[in-house]
Chain A
Amino acid sequence: MTPDLAASWGIKKDGSLGPLIPDFDPAAQDKDPAAEQRVQAVLEALAAVTGGAPGKPVAVVRKSLYQMTDGALAFEDLPAGLAGAGGLGWLKEGKILPLAADSDVRTVTAKAGTEQTLTEEQVGLVLKALAAAEAKAGKGDVPPFAYFSGGRSFRLNKDGRLTSVDAGEVAAPVAWPLAHDVRPAQQSLGAKGCTDCHTADSKFFFKTLRAAGPLLTKNAAAKSTTALMGVGGLFQRVFGLTFAVRPWFKFLLAVTVIVSGAVVAVFFLVIAGKLAGLIEKGS
């Protein structure tokens, strides 16, 4: 089991997480050479980042600053101006910038494990940038930009905050038939009985569907399957409930048929017996 770790860069090995750069004392005589090799590998990898590395990659280990100098790993005492820094970062103009911007970290962690590709923060930033560009171009009277996802329209309000409204027909759901809407018999609805659909909590009738879209948001449009099918939810719930007592209903009808049928059979037998003189008239 992976122990709880503070938010930091790590490495996953054999199913467990560990720090990307292990803690060691750079000034120690018997320091683990593998630790500095790890620092060197990481800094070399970061130095290879192309397209917008904000500075020179550095690693702060305790009170030492590691960086690559002329192709070799070098370390020095942490300058007084950088006191309190730790971990990996970019050295730029005498300051250490975080390895990844906070907004990037928020975006990546929010999207981890989801199918969505955008966060509301990103959409807000884009809409703000677009609005600023329009304002700069002197087009202040154009309608505000909007982003459509999950059945809703996302816009910036007067305070610059992202809000959403029902997008209406523009983002109405569409049916997307798969395999001609045909399933193997064993997977078809009703194959396992009426209660495949008709129960008080049937997913077929009462599942709430959230509109899909690339935006990670809690404001996606949601609809129950009854609403999508245009059938009465209350009726389907009541009708589903009746299936809970249906075995008893069947039993009741069977008793009625058998018992009443037996009495009717006796009635005809008695008449036949009287007509045949086997049973005395009046008895």
Chain B
Amino acid sequence: MIMFAIVSILAILAAGLALAYRRFRLHHPSAEGTILYIAIVRDFVRWLVRRVPECLARPAPGGWAAWVKGFPVWRLPLFEKWLLICLYGSFLYLAISGFLFAIFVPRGLYGFPLVLHVFAGAVFAVCLTLIVFLRARRFVFNPGPLSLPGDLESVRRFRIPWGPRDWAKVCFWVFLVAGISLAASALLPMLPWFYYKGQVILFGWHRWSALVSLLAAVAFVDLELFAPRPEAG
């Protein structure tokens, strides 16, 4: 599973850089006019070098506790609040335990972390099912009917109508599909249908689904929950 470890590390780094670059472009629209890639990269690296310590040094008033208390989730109604907290908490533990062991421990996940992983998986499955009914409607796409363009000029001008929240919607549905895939790849090995080879395939399926799920979750959190706001000044 060295391949999985390498791909996971690279994918997580790439996702982080891509999301950071997106914020950089939002905060520096002047970069749009630059055609020198080296200049863009230089400005991006400078911005990144400046922002990383700022993020780590955050939050100024009240410290980390006040920063966490400022999350919108705490202002939600009781049941919705705890549903989301359980979803976030269980997924956080699943991701941390799963990827730490998958990447750094040759044996993989075992012992009490594995027992907790299974328990968190059950909590995550329940929350995911409820979220589908309570939140999925907010992330539905609403395209109009397709029609053929009238002429070549229309084809040239055609753009897929893509709103600012559409990437977050995509992330939500990818996260949902990956979550279902995770549940299926956890369920099937417990059924007496697969021999060793099948178990190995399902194990790999579970890991790759987890990677997709993690990337979708990271992107969703960045795009939706911590949507970038223009920097002051």
Interface membership of B39, Cβ < 8 A: no
Main secondary structure of the interface of B (DSSP, over half): helix
Q: Are A260 and B187 in contact (CB under 8 A)?
A: no
Interface membership of A263, Cβ < 8 A: yes
Q: Are B112 and A260 in contact (CB under 8 A)?
A: no
Given contacts A235-B112, A238-B112, A264-B173, contact A256 B128 (CB under 8 A): yes
A contact residues, total (Cβ < 8 Å): 29
Q: Are A271 and B180 in contact (CB under 8 A)?
A: no
Interface membership of B179, Cβ < 8 A: yes
Q: Are A276 and B129 in contact (CB under 8 A)?
A: no
Q: Which interface class (under 10, 10 to 19, 20 to 34, 35 or more) fits B? A: 20 to 34
Q: Are A257 and B183 in contact (CB under 8 A)?
A: yes
Identify the closest chain B residue to A255 (Cβ). B129
Q: Are B190 and A259 in contact (CB under 8 A)?
A: no
Interface membership of B125, Cβ < 8 A: yes
Interface membership of A267, Cβ < 8 A: yes
Interface membership of B126, Cβ < 8 A: yes
Interface membership of B143, Cβ < 8 A: yes
Q: Are A257 and B112 in contact (CB under 8 A)?
A: no
**Roughly how many angstroms separate A242 CA and B118 CA in the complex, as a whole number?**
9
Interface string of A254-283 (1 = CB under 8 A from B): 111101110110010011001111000110
**Roughly how many angstroms separate A275 CA and B147 CA in the complex, as a whole number?**
9
Q: Are A260 and B143 in contact (CB under 8 A)?
A: no
B residues less than 8 Å from A281 (CB atoms): 142-145
Given contacts A264-B180, A275-B146, contact A257 B115 (CB under 8 A): no
Q: Are B145 and A275 in contact (CB under 8 A)?
A: yes
Interface membership of A249, Cβ < 8 A: yes
Instruction: Give the number of A-B contacts (CB < 8 Å).
Output: 82
User: Nearest-CB distance from B209 to chain A (Å)?
Assistant: 12
B residues less than 8 Å from A259 (CB atoms): 129, 132
Interface membership of B95, Cβ < 8 A: no
Give chain B interface residues in 165-198, CB to chain A under 8 Å: 173, 176-177, 179-180, 183-184, 186-187, 190-192
Interface string of A193-230 (1 = CB under 8 A from B): 10000000000000000000000000000000000000
The answer, among A193, A252, A277, for a CB contact under 8 Å with B125, is A252
Interface membership of A246, Cβ < 8 A: yes
Interface membership of A253, Cβ < 8 A: yes
**Roughly how many angstroms separate A101 CA and B128 CA in the complex, as a whole number?**
79
**Roughly how many angstroms separate A253 CA and B176 CA in the complex, as a whole number?**
14
**Roughly how many angstroms separate A270 CA and B118 CA in the complex, as a whole number?**
34
Q: Are A256 and B145 in contact (CB under 8 A)?
A: no
B residues less than 8 Å from A270 (CB atoms): 140
Q: Are B180 and A260 in contact (CB under 8 A)?
A: yes
**Roughly how many angstroms separate A250 CA and B192 CA in the complex, as a whole number?**
12
Q: Other CB < 8 Å A-B pairs besides A252-B122, A281-B142, 9 of them? A: A235-B111, A253-B183, A253-B187, A259-B132, A263-B136, A274-B145, A275-B143, A275-B146, A276-B146
Which B residues have a C-beta under 8 Å from some C-beta of A?
Answer: 111-112, 114-115, 118, 121-122, 125-126, 128-129, 132-133, 136, 140-146, 173, 176-177, 179-180, 183-184, 186-187, 190-192
